[in-house]
Structure 1
Amino acid sequence: MGVKRKKSETEELVEGGKSNDKNIESSYKKKREILPSMIKNKEKRSIVHAKMKQEKKLEKRKKLKARDANEKRALELGEEPPPRAIPRTIENTRELDETVCRPDDEELFAGNDADEFSSVLKQERTPKILMTTCRYNSTRGPAFIKELQAVIPNAHYFKRGTYDLKKIVDYANKKDFTSIIVVHTNRREPDALLMIGLPNGPTAHFKLSKLVLRKEIKNHGNPTGHKPELVLNNFTTRLGHRIGRLIQSLFPQDPEFRGRRVATFHNQRDFIFFRHHRYIFESKESKGSDSKVKKVKDAKGEKIVQERVIARLQECGPRFTLKLISLQHGTFDTKGGEFEWVHKPEKVFLVTCSGYCLEFHHFEKEAFSGEGVIPATTDVEICNN
């Protein structure tokens, strides 16, 4: 006996009398649609992919033109233009943080007058920074510190040698330093940054990544000796406010605007991005036809070419990213130190096909206060289910 052929969906719909022309057309379209991943030939696959990408681009451009035309038509008729759709991003869809500082928070601003940074930020003390490295150092560590010295005024570099960090803290207190910055290197690459406020702390430990020195930046500029302007973005939570004041205490509070230098710390998704720029004003002749350019004449009646001033940014370096690992009360103390905040790992369980449970940790922000507690490192444990 022969095996009966299985009828297609289209044939079943036609025989059952349930189909119409639209259903048949849609089923044929699905069959005719070929995705690039279905094509085995690499050259043909890349051609089809490029064609599909171009079609999507043209379709998007048509939608934008139609939207602009509708807005223009509505404005000509004196009507309100249709509202634009707001794109869905990680920033506008994340959960609201309860610790966000409000402008009317009197308790927060009253505490600012009595915290560890108030004397520097009120200009009662001049910021004086001591910079050093870890004991086992590489050439890239001092090179990074040299560029940090160009960013932060009144910063002094001392070789670490074999001195303990507690002895360095005592020495810095006696010499009237306001902060200590320690650059830690691993495999000849700076990977951590320690900021210690003096004389009473706090101590912030940051993970350092994506370091780019000045000579590696294309078309970089050389900074001048003027005091820079400081820009802090998105330090809005209680923790962010405290870290922002710690960073602010490293810089003088009377910037010299003539130098046109800007140091930016931009906080986004709990990563702090640092950039160092200088802004330049250039005068260029205005382009365009004689009808568009305004004709100006002097007292003698001669034509004067108008010049327009253009402002642009030039990066001076370095460029790096910071992520906060812990914030500790007081100066550096690994044994009896009290932590204000640490990255505490959270356990997540995954059951595998073989019946074993993989227990692994991923870092999660959590406000924490305890004595001598340090977050565990990321690890993987296998246990019976």
Structure 2
Amino acid sequence: MGTQSEALKNIKNKIRRQKVFSQIKHDKNKERHTLRKERAKEERANPELKDKRIVENIPDTIDSKRIYDETIGTEVEGKDEFDKYFTNLGKDPKILLTTNFNARNAAYEFADILMDFLPNVTFVKRKQGYQIPDMVQFCNNREYSTIIIINEDKKKVTGLTFINLPEGPTFYFSISSVTEGKKIAGHGKAQDFLPELVLNNFNSRLGKTIGRLFQSIFPHKPELQGRQVVTLHNQRDYIFFRRHRYIFRNEEKVGLQELGPQFTLKLRRFQKGIRGDIVWEHKPDMERDKKKFYL
């Protein structure tokens, strides 16, 4: 490779240099395809060679190079603010959904999207001057378990705030890539069943806390006859929301039909109590190390 680079540098004519470079690239591609054909022929004759290659040639990814986190695999110690949900199995969550001040149509439209899959949720329009402590008192007097606030700016939904009741904690997530169900190709129509909840890859202590937050807004017993599942998949600290329905084609084949919506969350802040001391906050310099993840 070094010899070829030196040879290209010695060619002064730009057009000639480009032709030589294209020929070198063509020859490399031809050689690679020839080797692939020969390898495929050998593997057809001896399938064990293919199995060995697959085992040995595991590609490196950012996920596989993740920097070790000593909290991975550890359970939540003792009781936390969500313990009430996990110990009182006879009581389902009760959610109040609202917006920030001076919300526009985008926030109300997104509220409709959330209410399509969130169980036992009530939407209340945010009144001017109605502060978060007032909302918390209102909800605690009526036995709500969670407040969800839709944050909208410049006619665009930018985030979601979750307040666990009666005394916190508070979480703020930015939101992006929102797609309504009706805009998803081949989408199905959701029915009024409580969905099953699937949480993927919430491995660190902070990740497990976020997982418990999401668990706390869904009832303990899903209605499995509805065949609907909500998935929250964490990958590199981005949380992807998807909703599907199981399709049983026959006794052996099971498919998935997407119902929507789709959106992506990213944790920005985790606070004690009702917006109290900051426990964890995402900062711009955290993006420098691409192999460090927090959830």
Of 83, 101, 106, the match for 2:73 = 101
Whether the 8 Å CA contact 1:224–1:259 is kept in 2: the answer is yes
Whether the 8 Å CA contact 1:132–1:182 is kept in 2: the answer is yes
Task: Decide whether aligned partners of structure 1 residues 81 and 323 sit closer, same or farther in structure 2, where only a CA change above 3 A counts.
Answer: closer
Size of the alignment, in residue pairs? Answer: 284
CA drift of 1:109 comes to: 5.0
1:140 has 2:106 as partner: yes
Which whole-Å CA distance do the structure 2 matches of 1:88 and 1:76 have between them? Answer: 23
The structure whose RCO (Cα within 8 Å, separation 6+) is larger is 2
Which whole-Å CA distance do the structure 2 matches of 1:173 and 1:56 have between them? Answer: 69
Of 319, 342, 345, the match for 2:262 = 319
Aligned to 1:330: 273
Whether the 8 Å CA contact 2:67–2:293 is kept in 1: the answer is no
Aligned to 1:87: 59
Q: Deviations over 1:9-44 (max 9, x none)?
A: xxxxxxxxxxxxxxxxx679945999xxx559xxx9
Structure having the larger proportion of residues in strand: 1
Which whole-Å CA distance do the structure 2 matches of 1:362 and 1:136 have between them? Answer: 36
Which of 235-244 and 56-65 deviates more? 56-65
Of 181, 187, 190, the match for 1:223 = 190
Task: Decide whether aligned partners of structure 1 residues 58 and 223 sit closer, same or farther in structure 2, where only a CA change above 3 A counts.
Answer: farther
Structure 1 unpaired stretches of 5+: 1-25, 103-107, 284-307, 348-360, 368-385
Code of the aligned partner of 1:255 = P
Aligned to 2:92: 126
Q: Structure 2 matches for 1:2-81, cutoff 5 A?
A: 30-31=7-8, 60-75=32-47, 81=52
TM-score of the superposed pair, with normalisation by structure 2: 0.82
Across the aligned residues of Structure 1 and Structure 2, the Cα RMSD in angstroms comes to 3.6
Of 121, 137, 148, the match for 1:181 = 148
CA drift of 1:181 comes to: 0.6
1:172 has 2:123 as partner: no
What percentage of residue pairs aligned between the two structures are identical?
38
CA drift of 1:342 comes to: 1.1
Task: Decide whether aligned partners of structure 1 residues 52 and 193 sit closer, same or farther in structure 2, where only a CA change above 3 A counts.
Answer: farther
Of 68, 74, 82, the match for 1:117 = 82
TM-score of the superposed pair, with normalisation by structure 1: 0.64
Code of the aligned partner of 1:238 = R
Q: Structure 2 matches for 1:218-367, cutoff 5 A?
A: 218-282=185-249, 310-332=253-275, 337-346=276-285
Specify the SS of the correspondent of 1:245.
Answer: helix
CA drift of 1:80 comes to: 8.0
Code of the aligned partner of 1:155 = V
Aligned to 2:166: 199
CA drift of 1:52 comes to: 8.8
Whether the 8 Å CA contact 1:147–1:317 is kept in 2: the answer is no
Task: Decide whether aligned partners of structure 1 residues 32 and 326 sit closer, same or farther in structure 2, where only a CA change above 3 A counts.
Answer: closer
Which whole-Å CA distance do the structure 2 matches of 1:180 and 1:155 have between them? Answer: 10
Code of the aligned partner of 2:58 = I
